[in-house]
Chain A
Amino acid sequence: MEQLLGFAVPGVPYGCAYAVFAVGLVLTYRATGVFNFGFGAQAYASAFVFTWLVEDHAWPTWGAFVLAVVVLGPGLGLVFDRFLFRRIASTNTTAKIVTGLSLLVGIPALLPMVFGNANLVGAPSIMFNPNTVYVHLGADVPVNGMYLSAAILTVAMLVLLVLLLQTTTLGLEMRAAVESRRLLELEGVNAQRVTATAWAVSGLMAGLAGVLLAPTEATIQAPDYITLMVAAIAAAACAALRSMPIAAVAGVLIGVVSLVAQGYLPTSSVWYSAVLPALPFIVLVAALWVVPGLRHLDEATDPLSSVDPPPPPPVARVRGREIDRVVRTGWWLVLGAFAISMLTWIPRAWETVLNQGMAYSVIFLSITLLTGIAGQLSLAQATLAGVAAFTAGQLAMHAGLNFLAGGALGVLAAAAVAMLLALSSLRLRGLGLALMTLAAALLFDTAIFPAQSVSGGTGGLSIASSWLGLPLLAPDGHAYFVLALCVLALCAAGVTMVQRGTIGRFLSAMRGSEIGAAGIGVNLPWQRVLVFALSGALAGVGGTLLAIQQTVIAPGQFNYQLSLAFVVIVVTAGVGTVEGAIQAGIGLVVIQELLQYAPQRLQGLTFVLFAIGALTYSAHPEGIVELEKRRWTARAERALARLRSEPAPATASGRS
């Protein structure tokens, strides 16, 4: 018993943080209809500012707590509401998820730039001294100040919240606002104020969770917060994103049970090394399978939704014949010039960079296919790329297959994993599907990729010795460039063919309306499995290409945070078109390379830029780069028409 308690008590801060995270997620989702992926970033921001004030500027702990948690937390929530989520209240789930994700990707990259200090160490504990033992549970279980303050603050927060929601009119109004803000307004209630209050309260909880967790780690790192948030999502999912008390209990249990199991399991077993770190994600997958409430998350409930104007029709990509000819010729010229330049004058360093960009482009094409064409949001594309790369690598190391032949098998493996993913989430859509893919990505990240037998540990797998025709693809020649260009061209052509063919019509019908598509006889489950398999294969091709280019494959190249960033990047550049994916791939590496010349402080700028771009997704689902291209095309059309002094053709515009 004493041993059990000894293992359980260190789990308390984690459990409390999970609980606060989970309750905050449920609160935002219930009161505003937004599943706030930015929650982890909010918590990180508060922890960052708190530690920065105390350690770097010698503020008293309470002062820093007030500013970082009580002021900054709700402030961030209000800013998110006012400037982002209020504007997209009636858009589809994908737009809301993408907006949250861009906050999750952008804020952690932005903070070190603003404060100029990425490494904050030694966060203080609030309320009680972490080094003082206040209570002894039994003879041998010390409870220090950190555990005590975590438990007290969490319980106080949860009790206050339950009181707020169950006994006050505000709580009633929050619950009503979820169903229909308009109906609530007809009752004479300012629905915007109700929603803003919910955002402020959840921001306060994010700040509290962040500060509670700060002392448990040596340094304040954004990835820790993001991983913890995903673990907390598991607790929220157990409660069907509905019941806050269940979410809180599940959060505490996940935190405490992990640490207890950690104490009892032998450290050499696979349970300890693989299953235990993945426990929250296993819980998440199980909840998505079992909890029925998660299958109907996105169903519209607002009886007054017909008040909204109908969504604008997708902007037709019609170009006049002359412009079209110019643009096409232009593309071929750019392609030719690119190939010739790469083979002749471009310096080696930049050729490597652009090669990498082409490999990324292939991975991004998988997102174009899945999200842009079929309308399914997957947060596991980097993982699928990794599956192919590691399979190919292992086949090269052990079976003696060269990397290209192994790569083909790796691509099949990635497609198989993607199909399994689709099959296991057939009953989920929208948010549920996104969470399932996120859980799968984290399962691979924590339980499979780090294993010695898969990736050779954190150092990664060197494949330099198992290439096909080593001298040909050697880094000095242009062979890799030719290979990458051919593969990219083939993949782009393939995606275009799928988009224009029968499957593409089915998929865009599915994106438009699942019910409508089923009504005209589209086999939805089969289409979904098919598009996941194709997209997994594409991601696999890109992953293998990237592996050949880098010659070393490590788990860090394919982690889930990259999957999240990938979605944000592709959405910015244009998720509906093949050019969009290529622009995204090349743009990503070029911006990153250019930043090498910028001050160290600005290194995170790439993600900030793309995150800002993705924030416009709800207004311009075609991507801002694509939008600008269309505007310029339209301008060119008008200029041409003026030149000939005849009226512009009716179809020739990107204006809607």
Chain B
Amino acid sequence: MTPPVLELDAVSAAYGPYRALFGVSVTVLEGATVALLGSNGAGKSTVARVASGLVPVTAGRVLAGGVDVTGKPAWRIARAGIAHVPEGRGVFSTLSVEENLVLSLRRRAGPRALRHSLEQAYLRFPALAERRHARAGTLSGGQQRLLSLAKVLVVPRKLLIADELSLGLAPHVVDDVYRALGDVQRAGTALLIVEQSIDRVLSIATSAVVLDHGSVAYAGPATEAADVVAHVLAPRGRPQGADGAMPAEPRVPRGRGWRRSQTT
């Protein structure tokens, strides 16, 4: 049996003095699609950042393809085949669309195949081809997300971590983004999807992890996750609102504090 593409083993993490994760374990098997759910500030983005090496762990281990990459810099983990599309803007806004693609593809596809890979990307996303010499910062939000996905789609990685891909997009643009995600999935890339719109992500996920206050509240098949989410969030009498406010008193006091992830 091949080792899982990503395994977080009882990982804790903190931003300075503010602790965000408390012994979280997440496993992503080869070719699987894992949905990472939870309210604002539950630690979803931190899990994504720990997996890609952006945030150092304070305890626990991170394994990529069975290899221990705990404490390794982000670029080493990226070279091991883990792509992370951060929430918000994930492209270099001062570089042109083409330069963004070149930056990403040149190393993975090699200089020879570069031209071919670029053409493939443009073929798949004609909107990018039209604006290939425009600065990436001038693209619309949806086009920027597609640009991030294009890099992964053309040269498949082992794992794509997608953080809040649909956030702030118009519904029909979200359709485009999810269509592209489906293509990534079919190319054999495992997915770890952080998402707020639960129904959407559970429709493509094979399993799900629900985070609450920086700990795992549920890990298992995606089909039951929706109930768990409703159950986890319901006792507070608080809908998963835009402000994501914490209840006045956490159910279990853990550590000194927590940090709300910046999802706006």
Contact = CB atoms under 8 A, between A and B. Distances in A.
Contacts of B17: 309, 312
Contacts of A84: none
B74 A185 contact: yes
Contacts of B99: 172, 175
Contact of A176 (B14, B74, B92): B92
A329 interface: no
Contacts of A188: 75, 78-79, 107-108
B92 A183 contact: yes
A176 B95 contact: yes
Contact of B16 (A176, A189, A310): A310
B16 to A, nearest CB: 3
Nearest to A173: B103
Interface stretch (A9-17, A54-62, A298-306, A590-598): A298-306
Q: Among B17, B74, B94, B107, find the residue whose CB has the most chain A CB atoms closer than 10 A.
A: B74
By DSSP majority rule, is chain A's interface helix, strand, loop, or mixed?
A: helix
B104 interface: yes
Contacts of A256: none
Interface string A183-224: 111111111100000000000000000000000000000000
Contacts of A306: 261-262
Interface in A113-142: none
A303 B75 contact: no
Interface in B91-126: 91-95, 99, 102-104, 106-108
Given A306-B262, A309-B16, A312-B16, A187 B90 contact: no
Interface stretch (B22-30, B81-89, B201-209, B243-251): B81-89
A187 B107 contact: yes
Contact of A185 (B15, B16, B78, B107): B78
Nearest to B99: A172
Nearest to B79: A188
A303 B54 contact: no
Interface in B240-264: 261-262
Instruction: Kindly state the interface size class of chain B when it binds its partner.
Output: 35 or more
Contact of A175 (B74, B95, B261): B95
Contacts of A351: none
B55 interface: yes
A186 B91 CA distance: 11
B136 to A, nearest CB: 10
A600 interface: no
A169 B104 CA distance: 11
Nearest to B86: A304
B210 to A, nearest CB: 23
A557 interface: no
A179 interface: yes
Given A186-B74, A188-B78, A303-B88, A172 B94 contact: no
Interface of A: 169, 172-173, 175-176, 178-180, 182-192, 301, 303-304, 306-310, 312
